[in-house]
Chain A
Amino acid sequence: MGSTNSTLSKIPNVEELMQETGFTPAHIVRLYDRFEALDKEKTGHLRPQDFGAINRLAMNPIGDRIIGAFFSPGQETVDFHSFVRILAHFRPADKKRPKDPSMPEPVNSRTSKLKFAFQLYDQDKDGKISRAELLQVLRSMLEMQVTEEQLESIADRTIQEADLDKDDAISFEEFRKSLEKVNIDHKMSIRFLR
């Protein structure tokens, strides 16, 4: 389509982006439109306030963490490339991808998805989910529904179940192991409409 091509030409390094993330041109165009819609001041970058403008996100218990995940540590803005890269985590995994060990792990593989989820919990980026961090997430998810001590017992039990090396925190490996039976591909993918 004409509009697609013209839009595509506006985006720098489209080819590389598509290669890296596996999105189709149509997807990229859609995302670009969305990016521009969010970027009200047309600076080419998104700031946390732009994300905050999305109303529904405010109601989401972990909405602010997700927003934080878009911004690499130290960066104040998100450009389109990073935007797309983060969103590419949620593409359904390609089943037919040849297993090529030399290529880097694709962005939407199971491990990458799990890493993304892990980072949601691990706010201080120390590689472990501590009890306090887990409590924070639980609190935000359950809010008014359970008491503080119920929350604590849930958190204790969670750590107990997952913690294999008894350091009272959940490392990425333990996190992955506790979710080995869950179909992550299914649970962490959204369908990008064609």
Chain B
Amino acid sequence: PLPPCLPIFLHPLSSSSLSPHLPPPLSSSSLSPSTPSSSSSPSPSFSPSSPSSASFLIVSIGGDHGGSDLCCSPSLHHRFTKKVRIIEPLLILLRNCTYELSYELVNFFAFKKCFVNLDPGPLLSSVSLSLTSFRMTFCGIGCNKYVEANISQKSRTTVKYTMKTLASIAETIIFIFLGISAVDKSKWAWDTGLISCTLIFIFVFRALGVVMQTWVLNWFRLVPLDKIDQVVMSYGGLRGAVAFALVVLLDAERVPAKDYFVATTIIVVFFTVMFQGLTIKPLVNWLKVPRATNRKPTINEEIHERAFDHCLTAVEDIAGLNGYHHWRDKWEQFDKNYLSKLLLRKSVYRKSELWEVYQKINIRDAISVIDQGGNVLTSARLSLPSMASRASFPEVTNVTNYLRENGSGVCLDLQVIDNVPGAKVEEESETHHFLAGNLYKPRRRQTLHDSGDHERQDREIFQRNMKSRMETFKTTRHKRHSHKKDRSQKRGSDVKEQDLNDKPRRNVSWQDKDPVVVPVESEDEKGEHLEPEKEEDVGITFVARKVPDTPKERPKSVPAGLEVCQSPSMAPPSPTCSERNLPWKGGIGTLPVCVSMEATKIIPIDLQQAWNQSISSLESLASPPGPVEPLHPRVSALSRLGGQRPVSYSGSGVSGSGFGSRGAGSIVAQGIARFEFPPGGEEKEEEEGALSDQEQELQPLMSSSVRPPGRRRNPCVYLRSLVTAPPPGSEPLARSRGPTQL
């Protein structure tokens, strides 16, 4: 079974070795089955009954013509495959096959007729074999450029990897056979003399051949090949699978010494592949051969190299030399004016190579920037939110695909990267916020599953507001914990708008772990402040009371609030009911701000707005990739209430309530007043007025993207500010006006 199988494997191997470029020309079954009169050489025109010499002529001429004809047709075919991209790889891989097979079938019989009686049959068949392979090679080389330009990137990849796979499969199988033959004594016969002489000769004659050819070539070369190049070339002659396959294909009847040849070839293959193959690398290192450096292409080099080419062409023209550049330039003109117009698709034809290079460089840079968490702005003003994590495959894929398709628009704003210190941290916190905002929604829904369906919507509004209030009062840590718990609840529905679908889960965990952005708050703190809070309030003893007093209040208030929320531990339904009777509707103190565990999990709408604001801020390019802008003056105010992180917010309008620097506090106070908190005293002023103020402030808050992007804020601060809850009362109200926010 050995010989018949080999040709099949040799076919793709030879094709890939013959043609390093895409698409590789598929050489026909050049080593076709071992019949004496086999290997008909395809030729477009054949005459079955021509004499042998005429057949030979036809073979050779047909070889050349067939090559050029076949060269044009693949390219032409591919020019029209834009709408049917899926068949491009098939066309490439199969076209030449089908041509070859059809020709061969037709010519096989012709040859058989001519050669069956002639002895030179084998000779001619081998000649025609080589002609066939030449034909296919030149066809491939010729049409490579056009076909490659016409087909899509995916088709290119497909063809490339198909051929590589086939080649490596073929090579592997051949080597398996080689190994089997080596072990199987019946297949070979040992002759020491032949083997040793062969080994010596392959070295000697190869070196000789290289030296002679180099000597001839150096007459014509600009940069002559020096000794080291010649040494490497002669030492690098590895004989492998092809040699073995050929020798096994020998016909034992015609070549009685086949077994000796097989043995010799096996030894030669072993020797060259193993010994020479293993030692060539140390040799190259020892000789200090300059290696090819894998350098990043720069647009500078491209431009200047092109300019040099033009320059040299001009100089050659001036000096009257019809040199290399002169002819090359002539060919390029011809190609541009005639061939490309005919063979290339219109959209491809118009592209300039320099522009292509530029795009590639840009895309490469943009991708690496995104991977590192930078920001890329396209000329289409679509800002791509930075991907903080390398693990975000879907996003990166989208981004990179987008960039690949629309490379022309990508304009890497390096300034942005340079000016943002610690961008990664900021990006992480930013995405954290976004996710938190988006995570929120599904959770909310889930926690409401116990309530009825219709009133749920109303309740949801209130509940959301409540929850958002609760949320901001909590410590980060607690939030983290609750998030952790929540995440398990939240399944499926990922309301994440765009492409951060995987982020929510991931980032939540990140956020939980991140000690940098969020200050770690000790349980002790939480605990100790809980008591005083509880004493003072029956209902939700939010920090509001404490907040204006001490700088440390905020974080503590959060735990306090949290604890308070937890203490009632009501089931979801109750909160909703209580939320219904929100303070501004009436009573004071009756509201059990009950924030159950679920409530704590809700992320305030603030984040939602934060997200939108950040988007707009990113788009504006004015602000480096920072976290959401000081979106809510309320939030900022709250952070100020907390006081630990002095955030200088201009508090647009928030401070209007009269707090001055504590403007936010008033809002908080106001909000808290809604919940009947005994605020630090300022709450009185607000019952209604504050409400309206708050509503006004909250309105834009709710309605996202209305707020002008504020000042850039330290992400840490922002996060903390989230912790301080905006007055829950006001929020629900505003919520009711803008339920769509959620």
Could you tell me which A residues sit within 8 Å of B by CB distance? 30-31, 33-34, 37-38, 51, 54, 56-57, 59-63, 66-67, 70, 87, 90, 92, 117, 120-121, 137-138, 141-142, 145-146, 150, 153-154, 157-158, 160-162, 178-179, 181-182, 185-193
Contacts and interface: CB of A to CB of B under 8 A. Distances in A.
Interface in B313-334: 313-321, 323-326, 329, 333
B187 interface: no
B307 A190 contact: no
Contacts of B317: 54, 56-57, 60
A150 B293 CA distance: 30
A92 B305 contact: no
Most buried by A among B295, B307, B350, B408: B307
B247 interface: no
Contacts of B304: 117, 178-179, 182
B299 A158 contact: yes
Contact of A188 (B295, B299, B311, B352): B311
A85 B308 CA distance: 18
B223 A145 contact: no
A160 B192 CA distance: 67
Contacts of A92: 222-223
Nearest to B414: A160
Contact of A178 (B298, B314, B315, B319): B298
B303 A62 contact: no
Given A54-B317, A66-B315, A137-B307, A190 B301 contact: no
Given A67-B318, A154-B303, A161-B299, 18 more contacts: A31-B319, A56-B329, A59-B333, A60-B317, A62-B314, A63-B310, A87-B319, A117-B304, A153-B411, A158-B299, A162-B300, A185-B223, A187-B312, A188-B311, A190-B319, A190-B323, A191-B323, A191-B324
9 contacts: A57-B314, A60-B313, A61-B310, A63-B310, A120-B307, A157-B299, A158-B299, A158-B300, A190-B319
A186 to B, nearest CB: 6
A179 B308 CA distance: 12
A181 B293 contact: yes
B300 to A, nearest CB: 4
Contacts of B704: none
A66 B313 CA distance: 10
Contact of A161 (B300, B309, B310): B300
Interface stretch (B116-124, B129-137, B202-210, B354-362): B354-362
Contact of B362 (A61, A157, A179, A191): A157
B83 interface: no
Contacts of B314: 57, 60, 62-63, 66
Contact of A154 (B295, B299, B307): B299
Nearest to B333: A59
A179 B320 contact: no
Contacts of B354: 141-142, 146, 154
B341 interface: no
B312 A190 contact: yes
Nearest to B219: A194
Interface residues of B, number: 44
B301 A179 contact: yes
Contacts of B352: 142, 145-146
Interface in B261-315: 293, 295, 298-301, 303-315
B227 interface: no
Nearest to B353: A145
A188 B310 CA distance: 10
A34 B320 contact: yes
B427 to A, nearest CB: 23
A115 B293 CA distance: 25
Contacts of A60: 310, 313-314, 317
A117 B222 contact: no
B408 A117 contact: no
B303 A158 contact: yes
A141 B307 contact: yes
A117 B304 CA distance: 9
Chain A CB count within 10 A is highest, among B308, B320, B355, for B308
A90 B321 CA distance: 13
B438 to A, nearest CB: 35
Contacts of A187: 305, 308-309, 312
Nearest to B304: A179
Contacts of B298: 161, 178
B254 interface: no
Nearest to A151: B355
Nearest to B323: A190
Interface in B382-417: 408, 411, 414
A145 B355 contact: yes
B316 A154 contact: no
B454 interface: no
A121 B308 CA distance: 11
A138 B307 CA distance: 9
A51 B311 contact: no
Contacts of A54: 317-318
Given A34-B319, A34-B320, A178 B301 contact: yes
Nearest to B221: A191
Contact of A120 (B299, B311, B350, B361): B311
B363 to A, nearest CB: 12
B439 to A, nearest CB: 39
A61 to B, nearest CB: 6
Nearest to B310: A62
B585 interface: no
A70 B319 CA distance: 12
A31 B310 CA distance: 20
Contact of A190 (B303, B306, B325, B355): B325
A179 B311 contact: no
